[in-house]
Structure 1
Amino acid sequence: MISIKAYANCDHSYVVWVADKPIDKCLGFALYRLPAGESTPQVVETFVGPETDTKVPAGTSRPSTVWPIQKFMWSDYLVDTHSDVRYQVVAMCGDDFDSMKPGVKSPWSNTVSLVSPPGAVIQAYFNRGVVSTQWVARQLQSNKKSLKDLVDPPTGKSNKVRDFLGGELKRALLNLLDSQCRAGAHIYASLFELSDPEVLPAIEKFGQRAHVILSDGTHKAPAKKAVGKKKAKARAAPKKNGGPFDENAEARSALRAAHVEVHDRMVGGNHFSHHKFIVFTNPMSTTEPVAVWTGSTNLTYGGICTQANNGVFIRDAAIAQRFLTQWKELVKVGNGYPPELAKFDASAQSQPVGGGKVTAWFAPNPMIGPKPKKGNGNKNGDYADLKYARSLIQNAQEGVLFLVFNPGFRGTLLNDILDLLNNSSKNKKLYIHGVANQDPTGGPDKSPLIFVHRNKLERSDAAAEDNIVLPAAVNAPSSAKAKDKAAAIALQKWVKQVDNYWQQESGGLGMVRVHSKVIVVDPLGKHPVIITGSHNLGPKASSQNDDNMVIIENDGDAAAQYAVNIITIYNQYRWRFQQVLAAKNHETLNQWNGLLAPWKSQSSYFSGDKAKELKFWT
């Protein structure tokens, strides 16, 4: 007998199935999808054939009845993103792929929707900001343009690659701005960065109905790089008074030229004015906030297109009012961080929303408990927002999934997740899975990439060169060749072996691949929790930044949507990470070259960590 469960978010679906025992002579599974309103099932296509098929052109796909799925889960990226759909799997059995026939099958799964209901109180959106992929590699080759040229076109323009990478997040945000602008609403935004060629003009269209607090960004001037015989221009100039570099100078000028009300927040030092929120008012009562957009997405071409990010739209007047109140407080304090600001943020706003609860925390907030002793590793101490979130993580009953960017090295929510691995009873019970993209220059742990794979911690080599260990292109850059010729040769040899299928991939634009800040606790359980927002989930954000942390409880639909996004981003990067790290450590690379007959690894899904993973999802 086979049981099956399906999950989905706005981008794609994720299907998991489990059999009660190994299936005799099974060579994999055919997967069928049935969109709502249709009577004829569609056979899901796959892209990997038998290892004996060595002359298949790159990009070839076949029905899964021909090229079956040799695992018990599948991400369906080819499904119509504006549909309701259900799934069925059928075991394909035989001695070889030419003679296999259908065997035992599952019932049809639950129906999942790839569309947020128009009136949903909480709507989650995700981009496809993963540039180290074969699809992007082929697009770059066919367009004969750089990744930067495609994701950062002239103002107001877009293209196929940009639309694909921005995904439903870009579409939803632009549609929201456009519809509310046409309706006559006001917006109140606090933004860390603003330069996206589509989002900036969308905000400009509000004119005097847009009220924007605009930070100076990272307040560090970009390094000038040689371009042929010329020097690349910096995006803006440092302040005349010798203050921090204004990353948003061009956007600031454009907004003021469009008669937008702009409030400068030039914080400098160790502070970041790090929000990415937009409050929307009732068009018929423009002082009445009705909804808010927040999440991890900076409004730049990188945030929208080349980093993995999330956005969440909350239709609740009380939560929107709290964000607006925070906006007014930030306007009042100007460029400073007076004690009154932290005191103002000392408590959260909790609100019943739909069938669940939303709690909004704001930073900076006051340190709680004793001041940390010198040398204990966490100079920032503990904070109420972290303590609240920590209690939810520690109370996990089924599992924790996460995508984290740069939380810090001590006292963070990532540390709390890793502590679960060291608790034998928790580790045995929970399914823990996720990836952290850390800045290796900021602390004692020089690992820029931290994975937890089915409860096992994996770190990038502390001494490794960043371009090798970051989850980027599967190829050896020149800097890697100079530092470790053996590793570079091993990796290039592997790339050559799969060259019939493989195009050289883009390494991205900067070190940031996973920029989402999201932790999901028990997403499929009785008390699902989503922790997200602009907050990097560590004490530095709580103590020194303008940030928000939004905690959504008991919204199972939204939690499942975030879970699907996390597992997809994780799977995309870990495989590439394994290959480059194996090369760096002079270990054997994954030599899997296609589907195998017989499928010997089927048995591995009936015990150990793979069985635990299937149990979590089904």
Structure 2
Amino acid sequence: MNRKALAIANNDLVYLWWTYSEKIPHCLGFSIRRLQTGKSPVALPAFVGFTPAKKGDAPPVKRPTTDYWPIQSYQWKDLFVPEETEIAYEIVPVTGTPGKKLADIPGLAIRTNPITATDTIGRHRVVFNRGIISTQALSKKLPKGKSGSPSAAALRKHIGTPGDTIRASLAGEAIEALTSLLKRARDHGGKCYCALYELTDPELIDALKKNKGRVEVILANADTTEADADGKQQKVYDGTNAETRTELHEVLGNALHDRLLPKGNYIGHNKFVVYVTKAGTAKAVLTGSTNWTATGLCAQSNNILLIEDDAIAARYLDYWQRLLADDAEQGPDLRRDNAEAPPDLSLGTQQGAARIWFSPNTERKTKPAKNPPAPPDMAEVFQAISDAKHGVLFLLFSAGAPSILEQLTDVAQQRADAEQEFFVRGAISDAKTANQFTTRVYNDSALKAPNRLITGIAGIPDQFSYWEKELAKLGHAVIHDKIVVVDPFSDGCVVVTGSHNLGFKASYSNDENLCIIRGNRAIAEAYTAHVLDVVNHYNWRHKLAGAAKQGKGSQTAFTDLDETDGWQNKYFTGSFLQNRDLFFFPDSA
């Protein structure tokens, strides 16, 4: 029986995919065992069992492993992987009596490639936080309100308190990563140049204060809303940053530069830091999607990319200086320079190259209502999607229209018309956009047809079985990443990240940076693991929430483990596994 397995990792988890060429008789699922030199194999934790619990029943004191509750799927993830340690996994078909430890089916196990969960890729770093709050682990740690939901107020207090254990758990490595260049400047006599949007987290603000004399900050206006006397929500110009702005002016003086854009739909959306040596050489830049707030650290999914390269850092420093000279006008000089095609800048020997775009980069300051011309940065992203050989992964906050979503829809239809493969997995934070684009078309009857799963976000909406009600979000954003990954398992892989929301509006009206990395499979696989983690976390929850809204109850979208081998049938109806395998195992297709 033909079979394959794949392990990919980032700083926080390992994601596993595997496939078999045919159904396995008597198989009740798979036990997943982590293999580490010098240690006994460890069966991974399981979350769904054979016997459904009754409402009010207590969960098991010790969570069963996949030796008892097997995985009835062809994917899983290890959230408890030891970091900076080479490991592998054995995926073992099992059989036996439900409720007891299951027996291995001889001769059919698969072992994955060796893998290390790390944030270090070559000389660069890729860091993802743990900002998904709709989890059972967090729900159990928070007090419950009258509705049974975990307390949002309690969570806000936890994540806003430096040193708090819940804050530390959700932020993961994000706090250290965001402040790493500031620390380098203090330790080595260099200087940092920051361009920031939302800045309210006390620990990050203190880090900037500690760098007095070694930091300059361009702080954009970040608006908020407040209820007026009639209870209507009104926009408050710079309401988010006003207090921080006053506080930092007192400490940093003229090293804090106010970038107060005109009132309207313009935002200085950057979140980057450039490190410059004592000798004046730009050496490194930190970018990504993470705002410097408690929610950005702890209550949204976000990514941080630290690039150690003189030429790329110099390009960001030049943009920082042009933002300063622009005097908050988003004027024609800034726009013209940003519209120039960027050079391909090497990430190192055999590590691919990056192209860095900046916004605003159009002549017009606002996107036309009808037939807007494609901004140059988005034209390159759209072309990368069109050129995909196998598929595209994405995470999106709120992009407006047109965006990558329209392009993905068009390309999927073109591939369908041509009966060509096209694998899509993505998640959208904005509820209105998610309602428009959510789709689950993956159990295809034809091999060469688009295989798409696009989901919105949700938490478990009510208590059932051993599941507790979850807090779906804290504030406006849930997924705050802005990520596209194209063909991650090929040498032509592409990763798109940065602050850019991946729609035309951002290029027309916002200060943004967009990093397009080509040919670095390690970075592509790290981002792939993150996207798959987020998509698969929310896919089931979004279905539960949909069932609850229809009055069906969450339990109608949930089933316990099948006590027969019939759970495999759906995977071998049509071409589900074959279609998926074209994306994950392109070299063996």
Matches within 5 A, 1:422-437: 422-423=413-414, 424-425=416-417, 428-437=420-429
**Residue in 1 that maps onto 2:226:** 222
Whole-angstrom CA distance in 1 between matches of 2:451 and 2:113 = 31
Q: Secondary structure at the match of 1:251?
A: helix
**Residue in 2 that maps onto 1:574:** 539
Q: Would the alpha carbon gap of residues 248 and 561 (structure 1) be closer, same or farther in structure 2, given more than 3 Å must change?
A: same
TM-fit CA distance, 1:60 = 4.1
- Higher mean alpha-carbon deviation, 329-338 vs 142-151, is at 142-151
Q: Would the alpha carbon gap of residues 296 and 582 (structure 1) be closer, same or farther in structure 2, given more than 3 Å must change?
A: same
Q: Secondary structure at the match of 2:513?
A: strand
TM-fit CA distance, 1:52 = 5.8
1:407 aligns with 2:399: yes
Are the counterparts in 2 of residues 405 and 515 from structure 1 also a CA contact under 8 Å?
yes
- Alignment partner for residue 361 of structure 2, among 359, 365, 370? 365
**Residue in 2 that maps onto 1:159:** 164
Whole-angstrom CA distance in 1 between matches of 2:528 and 2:419 = 19
1:387 aligns with 2:383: no
- Higher mean alpha-carbon deviation, 183-192 vs 103-112, is at 103-112
**Residue in 1 that maps onto 2:412:** 421
Q: Would the alpha carbon gap of residues 556 and 81 (structure 1) be closer, same or farther in structure 2, given more than 3 Å must change?
A: same
Are the counterparts in 2 of residues 152 and 197 from structure 1 also a CA contact under 8 Å?
no
**Residue in 1 that maps onto 2:141:** 139
Deviations 1:339-373 (A, max 9, x none): 111011112242011220100000111259xx99x
Q: Would the alpha carbon gap of residues 304 and 280 (structure 1) be closer, same or farther in structure 2, given more than 3 Å must change?
A: same
Matches within 5 A, 1:505-584: 505-584=470-549
Whole-angstrom CA distance in 1 between matches of 2:267 and 2:439 = 27
Q: Secondary structure at the match of 1:207?
A: coil
**Residue in 1 that maps onto 2:42:** 42
Whole-angstrom CA distance in 1 between matches of 2:35 and 2:472 = 37
Whole-angstrom CA distance in 2 between matches of 1:458 and 1:69 = 20
- Alignment partner for residue 265 of structure 1, among 259, 264, 268? 259
**Residue in 1 that maps onto 2:447:** none
**Residue in 1 that maps onto 2:283:** 290
Are the counterparts in 2 of residues 435 and 449 from structure 1 also a CA contact under 8 Å?
no
TM-fit CA distance, 1:322 = 0.7
Are the counterparts in 1 of residues 390 and 582 from structure 2 also a CA contact under 8 Å?
no
Q: Secondary structure at the match of 1:74?
A: strand
**Residue in 2 that maps onto 1:19:** 20
Q: Would the alpha carbon gap of residues 86 and 459 (structure 1) be closer, same or farther in structure 2, given more than 3 Å must change?
A: closer
Are the counterparts in 2 of residues 151 and 161 from structure 1 also a CA contact under 8 Å?
no
TM-fit CA distance, 1:155 = 7.3
1:472 aligns with 2:458: yes
**Residue in 2 that maps onto 1:3:** 4
Are the counterparts in 1 of residues 425 and 452 from structure 2 also a CA contact under 8 Å?
no
Q: Would the alpha carbon gap of residues 406 and 427 (structure 1) be closer, same or farther in structure 2, given more than 3 Å must change?
A: farther
TM-fit CA distance, 1:81 = 2.8
What amino acid maps onto 2:246 in structure 1?
Answer: S
Deviations 1:112-145 (A, max 9, x none): 111133x723321111111111111111139999
Matched pairs, number: 560
Are the counterparts in 2 of residues 88 and 105 from structure 1 also a CA contact under 8 Å?
no
**Residue in 1 that maps onto 2:115:** 112
What amino acid maps onto 2:514 in structure 1?
Answer: M
TM-fit CA distance, 1:592 = 3.3
Deviations 1:448-477 (A, max 9, x none): 8745664567889xxxxxxxxx623332xx
Whole-angstrom CA distance in 2 between matches of 1:552 and 1:616 = 19
Identity among equivalent pairs (%): 29
Are the counterparts in 2 of residues 296 and 517 from structure 1 also a CA contact under 8 Å?
yes
- Higher mean alpha-carbon deviation, 165-174 vs 122-131, is at 165-174
Q: Would the alpha carbon gap of residues 459 and 560 (structure 1) be closer, same or farther in structure 2, given more than 3 Å must change?
A: closer
Whole-angstrom CA distance in 1 between matches of 2:386 and 2:116 = 31
**Residue in 2 that maps onto 1:334:** 327
Are the counterparts in 2 of residues 122 and 558 from structure 1 also a CA contact under 8 Å?
no
- Higher mean alpha-carbon deviation, 271-280 vs 154-163, is at 154-163
Q: Secondary structure at the match of 1:415?
A: helix
Q: Would the alpha carbon gap of residues 457 and 521 (structure 1) be closer, same or farther in structure 2, given more than 3 Å must change?
A: closer
- Alignment partner for residue 561 of structure 2, among 578, 591, 595? 595
**Residue in 2 that maps onto 1:484:** none
Whole-angstrom CA distance in 1 between matches of 2:58 and 2:225 = 48
Q: Secondary structure at the match of 1:605?
A: helix
TM-fit CA distance, 1:223 = 3.6
**Residue in 1 that maps onto 2:51:** 51
Are the counterparts in 1 of residues 360 and 508 from structure 2 also a CA contact under 8 Å?
yes
TM-fit CA distance, 1:605 = 2.3
Q: Would the alpha carbon gap of residues 512 and 23 (structure 1) be closer, same or farther in structure 2, given more than 3 Å must change?
A: same
**Residue in 2 that maps onto 1:123:** 125
What amino acid maps onto 1:604 in structure 2?
Answer: K
What amino acid maps onto 2:90 in structure 1?
Answer: Q
What amino acid maps onto 1:616 in structure 2?
Answer: F
- Higher mean alpha-carbon deviation, 318-327 vs 340-349, is at 340-349
Are the counterparts in 2 of residues 277 and 293 from structure 1 also a CA contact under 8 Å?
yes
Deviations 1:124-183 (A, max 9, x none): 111111111111111113999944444555977221211111122333224443344333
TM-fit CA distance, 1:425 = 5.0
Q: Which runs of 5+ in 2 are unaligned?
A: 443-449
**Residue in 2 that maps onto 1:93:** 95
Are the counterparts in 1 of residues 424 and 454 from structure 2 also a CA contact under 8 Å?
no
Deviations 1:387-431 (A, max 9, x none): 111111100001100001211122x22211121221115674111
Q: Would the alpha carbon gap of residues 187 and 517 (structure 1) be closer, same or farther in structure 2, given more than 3 Å must change?
A: same
Whole-angstrom CA distance in 1 between matches of 2:226 and 2:206 = 24
Deviations 1:520-556 (A, max 9, x none): 0001112010011111111111111110110000000
Q: Which runs of 5+ in 1 are unaligned?
A: 239-243, 461-469, 476-494
Deviations 1:258-292 (A, max 9, x none): 3261000000322111100000122x42x211010
Are the counterparts in 1 of residues 159 and 295 from structure 2 also a CA contact under 8 Å?
no
**Residue in 1 that maps onto 2:430:** 438
1:278 aligns with 2:281: no
Q: CA RMSD in A?
A: 3.0
- Alignment partner for residue 604 of structure 1, among 560, 570, 576? 570
Deviations 1:16-48 (A, max 9, x none): 11122211100111111123x424222222122
1:301 aligns with 2:297: no
Q: Would the alpha carbon gap of residues 160 and 99 (structure 1) be closer, same or farther in structure 2, given more than 3 Å must change?
A: closer
Are the counterparts in 1 of residues 385 and 486 from structure 2 also a CA contact under 8 Å?
yes
Are the counterparts in 2 of residues 93 and 102 from structure 1 also a CA contact under 8 Å?
yes
**Residue in 2 that maps onto 1:28:** 29
Which TM-score applies when normalising by structure 1? 0.84
**Residue in 1 that maps onto 2:445:** none
Whole-angstrom CA distance in 2 between matches of 1:20 and 1:472 = 34
1:350 aligns with 2:344: yes
TM-fit CA distance, 1:255 = 2.0
Whole-angstrom CA distance in 1 between matches of 2:197 and 2:69 = 47
1:182 aligns with 2:176: no
